[in-house]
Amino acid sequence: MMGFLAPWFLAGLAGLGIPVFVHLLRKHITVPRPVSSLMFFERGTQSSTKHHRLRYLLLFALRFALLLLVVLAFANPFVRRSAANANGRPLMIVLDNSFSMRAGTRFADAKREALALLAAKPHSQRAQVIALGGQVQVLTQPITDAEQLRVALDGVQVGDGYGSYGELGKAVRALSETEAGPIDLHLFSDMQRSAMPASFADAVFPQTVELTLHNVAKTAPSPNWTVESVNAPADLTDTKDTSKSRVQAVVAGMGTDETVKTVSLMVNGKEVAKRSVKVPANGRATVEFAPLNVGYGFNRCEVRVNGGDVLPADDASFFVVRRLDPQHVLFVHNARDERSPLYFGAALNAASHGAFVVQAVAADQATDIDPKKFAFTVLSDAATLPSIFEHSLEQYVASGGDVLIAAGVETGRRGEVPLWGGEHVKPRNVTASVGQVDFTYPALEQTEPGRDNGGWAAARFFYIVPVDTSLARVVARLSDGTPLLLERQMGEGRVLLLASGLENLTNDLPLHPVFVAFVDKASRYLAGGEELSGAKTVDSFVQLRSSAETQGRTASAEVVDPDGRRPLSLSEGRTARTFRLTRAGFYQIRFANGRSGEIGVNADRRESDLTPMSAEMQGLWTGSHGGQNAAEKKQVLGTNDRRMGLWWYVMLLALAVAVAETALSSRYLGVQREEV
């Protein structure tokens, strides 16, 4: 059966009269001939009928056919061909192995039902297996080998990731582009409400995909309690300072009645404290442990709520606290600058409560100082450095050390920023405030900056040293667009550059409260404490090295997962820049810069809410809830025919006709012949 996708173009068939008109509209040419006398000629009238007859019929037919084919091509003709029946459709088996499937026997039930569906499929039907966890994993291509499909499905294990139906929709939309016909998709899941994305459109499948839901959470959701969040220091220097040495945890109940729960604090496997807290019905309660008594080094800690619910895997929250002595910071400044070490030291002491100790030294006295003994180094308008110290500083940064540089008046006079390189800079006087700030940057991070640009808008800058930004990340700019704060990776280390001074002469930043917050966050970021300890969420990444290529040595990273295995091979340890945390528990990491750390990893607490989607939402998702879109989808899936476009073949035929017409017209009309 043939049809047209754009029938309105058939109106162009009216143009078929053009070749007829062209062939009839010919000019009659009479050639005068000399004669001696006209007396023997009889006057007569010549008929014009002969001149209105069609000539060159083959040429006329070619022109007529060319115009007809062009019109048909634009109308986009197609023919219907029989498509494969339901048994011939590709079968997608999606098995949810996210963290919530650990509740009860959900995962075992889902796998059993998926294997039963696989065993019942016709032998000739193609199928593929997909796992939905922290990421969508396509385990097989569409194949008919039932044994290979069974092995792939049986090998799926429940994980700790967050399953998103939005990510599933994105993956299925990409996979469906390679299939011309309908697809049967069977999803085996607990239909968790929190897995549905904020925008329902992200989870919608193409009209060629027929979704069948297999809900393994057949009963009402059981009550579940979880440790929703923990606020604890990553680094701790003074265990007696309760402003820092404390743990705050939030216990949440979902589908629960009001009850009293016992919450324990575990340190290195031992219970060190216990609290009782009343948790409201379907509510939250906060519990605090202070002071936090831990030993030196890395301490594996967890806050645990007494179990008895359907999902015991989320009853504990893991984190790591590193106890250490106050870290020393090397502050190298211009000999004539006495203000910057005073401002910086006061701000750091006020924010860190003694976690850092600043050792200030003039630039000309830094010859014998080894920067590797310090957590990080600050260069405050130290434009001229002793050659020995500058060389040591370059090696320090290349091997993983971090440096904060403030470019003041002396740096502007010299025209070159130490370590930074690039072209000679020309300082300029300005009167500007901070216009743009990247609040996702760790040294500037703020969750709700507000209209005052996080407090940065109040600071005024009067002197700026423009620098080369080609290899740097700009995280703050002045209101005129001039880069103010930049970061550059050098080897395994980082250089953070403030294009102005730390005193109150080139700017008034040290006089504003935001300066204390900046010094605190920048110091912790450059010291690397947040990277070496603390807590992260499953499926987040840790950065193993700063650069793809190390300078002067072969740096290797190593990871030990919660099961004591090493997931990175030797070659991967020398090349991998990041590592994905796929399991809940404690990870040991040795970074490429030689530092070692431990990190507690927890499942995304959205997985702890076991409330399923409503029946109306499930019906809307599968297309069985009614509506125009559902009807269109059923019409697309219910047809046994598929369209095959013919416009390409029509255009090829039109091209052949055009070539023939050109050749024939050149032959017939190349020479005008006289008509007798």
CATH of the domain at 592: 2.60.40
**322 assigned to some structural domain:** no
**Percentage with pLDDT > 70 across the chain:** 87
**Per-residue pLDDT tens for 361-420?**
999 999 999 999 999 999 999 988 999 999 999 999 988 889 999 999 998 888 888 888
CATH code at position 207:
3.40.50.410
**521 assigned to some structural domain:** yes
SS3 322: strand
Q: Is the confidence at residue 84, as pLDDT, over 50? A: no
The whole-number average pLDDT for the span 252-277 is 94
**623 assigned to some structural domain:** no
What distance in Å separates the CA atoms of residue 535 and residue 547, rounded to the nearest whole number? 24
Better-predicted residue by pLDDT, 531 or 568: 568
Last residue in a domain, options 219, 238, 258: 219
Q: What is the pTM of this model?
A: 0.72
Residues 100 and 213 in one domain: yes
CB 321 within 8 A of CB 586: no
DSSP for residue 222: P
Residue 674 pLDDT level (bands cut at 50, 70, 90): very low
Residues 419 and 557 in one domain: no
**539 assigned to some structural domain:** yes
**346 assigned to some structural domain:** yes
Residues 279 and 419 in one domain: no
Structure tokens at 163: 């399953």
What distance in Å separates the CA atoms of residue 226 and residue 246, rounded to the nearest whole number? 20
Please tell me which of 178-182, 532-536, 664-668 the model is most confident about, judged by mean pLDDT.
532-536
Burial string for 131-149 (b: 16+ CB within 10 Å, else e) reads bbbbbbbebbebeeeeeeb
CB 379 within 8 A of CB 405: yes
Q: Is the confidence at residue 473, as pLDDT, over 80? A: yes
**299 assigned to some structural domain:** yes
Q: Which residues contact 671 (CB under 8 A, 6 or more apart)?
A: none
As beta bridge partners, residue 495 has 403, 488
Residue 547 pLDDT level (bands cut at 50, 70, 90): low
Burial of 291 (0-12, 13-18, 19+ CB in 10 A): middle
The whole-number average pLDDT for the span 147-157 is 95
The string of DSSP letters for 118-141 reads HHHS-TT--EEEEEESSSEEE-S-
Residues 342 and 487 in one domain: yes
What distance in Å separates the CA atoms of residue 278 and residue 286, rounded to the nearest whole number? 9
Q: What is the pLDDT of residue 41?
A: 67
Residues 468 and 576 in one domain: no
Residue 152 pLDDT level (bands cut at 50, 70, 90): very high
CB 597 within 8 A of CB 533: yes
Structure tokens at 474: 């700009």
Burial of 206 (0-12, 13-18, 19+ CB in 10 A): middle
Q: What is the pLDDT of residue 530?
A: 61
Residues 125 and 71 in one domain: no
Residues 65 and 137 in one domain: no
Q: What is the pLDDT of residue 650?
A: 81
Better-predicted residue by pLDDT, 383 or 283: 283
Q: Is the confidence at residue 161, as pLDDT, over 80? A: yes
Residues 501 and 567 in one domain: no
Q: Going along 13-86, which residue ranges are E strands?
A: 77-82
Q: Is the confidence at residue 290, as pLDDT, over 60? A: yes
The whole-number average pLDDT for the span 535-540 is 94
**478 assigned to some structural domain:** yes
SS3 630: helix
The whole-number average pLDDT for the span 307-330 is 92
Least confident range of 162-176, 434-448, 567-581, 617-631 = 617-631
Last residue in a domain, options 196, 219, 242: 219
Q: What is the pLDDT of residue 675?
A: 44
Last residue in a domain, options 551, 576, 606: 606
Residue 424 pLDDT level (bands cut at 50, 70, 90): low
What distance in Å separates the CA atoms of residue 479 and residue 514, rounded to the nearest whole number? 17
Residue 660 pLDDT level (bands cut at 50, 70, 90): confident
Q: Going along 347-459, which residue ranges are E strands?
A: 356-362, 376-380, 402-406, 428-437
Average pLDDT, the chain: 86
Residues 103 and 73 in one domain: no
Better-predicted residue by pLDDT, 643 or 119: 119
DSSP for residue 143: B
**Per-residue pLDDT tens for 21-80?**
666 655 555 667 777 766 666 666 655 544 445 556 777 787 778 888 887 878 788 776
Q: What is the pLDDT of residue 9?
A: 72
The whole-number average pLDDT for the span 239-261 is 91
Between the two ends of the chain, the Cα-to-Cα distance in Å is 52
Burial of 392 (0-12, 13-18, 19+ CB in 10 A): buried
Q: Which residues contact 38 (CB under 8 A, 6 or more apart)?
A: none
**Per-residue pLDDT tens for 587-645?**
999 998 888 999 999 999 999 999 999 999 999 998 854 444 444 554 444 444 556 77
Q: What is the pLDDT of residue 625?
A: 43
Residues 509 and 540 in one domain: no
Q: What is the pLDDT of residue 162?
A: 95
Residue 134 dihedral angles phi and psi, to the nearest 5°: -60, -25
The whole-number average pLDDT for the span 329-357 is 91
The whole-number average pLDDT for the span 456-473 is 91
What distance in Å separates the CA atoms of residue 78 and residue 599, rounded to the nearest whole number? 60
- Structural domains of the chain, count: 5
Residue 554 pLDDT level (bands cut at 50, 70, 90): low
- Give the H or E element holding residue 511: none
What distance in Å separates the CA atoms of residue 295 and residue 322, rounded to the nearest whole number? 8
Query: Residue with structure tokens 């216009």?
Result: 435
State how far the alpha carbon of 662 is from the alpha carbons of 22, 59, 61, 73, 665, in Å. 16, 9, 13, 20, 5
Residue 322 pLDDT level (bands cut at 50, 70, 90): very high
Structure tokens at 364: 């000309």
Alpha-carbon Rg for the chain, nearest whole angstrom, is: 38
What distance in Å separates the CA atoms of residue 21 and residue 646, rounded to the nearest whole number? 30
Query: Residue with structure tokens 């927890």?
Result: 602
**103 assigned to some structural domain:** yes
Residues 272 and 231 in one domain: yes
Largest CA distance in the chain: 141
Domain residues for 552?
A: 532-606
SS3 372: helix
Residues 459 and 546 in one domain: no
Q: Is the confidence at residue 227, as pLDDT, over 50? A: yes
- Which residue type, as a one-letter code, is found at position 589? I
**Per-residue pLDDT tens for 124-141?**
999 999 999 989 999 999
Q: What is the pLDDT of residue 627?
A: 43
Q: Is the confidence at residue 462, as pLDDT, over 60? A: yes
Other C-beta atoms closer than 10 Å to the C-beta of 68 total: 18
